[in-house]
Amino acid sequence: MQLILASGSARRRELMELAGYDFIVGVSDANEDVDISDPALLVRELATIKARAVQRETGEACCIVGADTVVYADGRIIGKPRDEEDAFRILKTLNGREHTVYTGVCVLCGADEPNAFCDETRVTFRELSDEEISAYIRTGDPMDKAGAYGVQGAGCVLVKSVMGCYFTVIGLPMPRLYTALREKGILPTKAKAR
């Protein structure tokens, strides 16, 4: 069964490759405008919407992994910044504080019911000066990331601590995804070769 990652995220693709999966990328153009205020429910729903949209294009002979990530702080869901000014505002909000990263995943294989789940990780930023925030924004790194930062790139210097799955913060909780795919008989090709 062909494995498809329903995401254009370079970070998610790198994690799947790192784990040894044989997959292709199928980006959905699904409407992601949903009215859900609970971050865990939101990311599960969006991951499912993405997986179903790709399944409509590819048919049921594939196993599709959809994913979505948001940051949650002060009772608000924080997605990707609109522009550099918005990125600065977001990073100032997170500065020196703890927030929660939610990543939802949907594994949709053939005609089976979707297996949608959410993983959450608490992240604490260190105290940052306005110049540090501006310098990070100038790298361009925050512009396509929920919460306006990426823990695996230049944004690693912003983070003081991570409590939970590091991969959830990147955008794909690999230990839980591995378990969900294993239940469908899909293992990394490197693991099969051993």
Q: d(Cα 164, Cα 32) in Å, to the nearest integer?
A: 27
Among 35, 68, 83, 86, which one carries the catalytic annotation? Answer: 68
User: CA 72, 169, 17 angle in degrees (round to 5)?
Assistant: 150
The backbone region for 134, taken as left when phi is positive above 0, alpha when psi lies in -120 to 50, beta otherwise, is alpha
The full length of the chain comes to 194
Rg of the chain over CA atoms, in angstroms?
17
Residue 68 designated active-site: yes
Are 142 and 155 contacting, i.e. CB atoms less than 8 angstroms apart? yes
Catalytic residues: 68
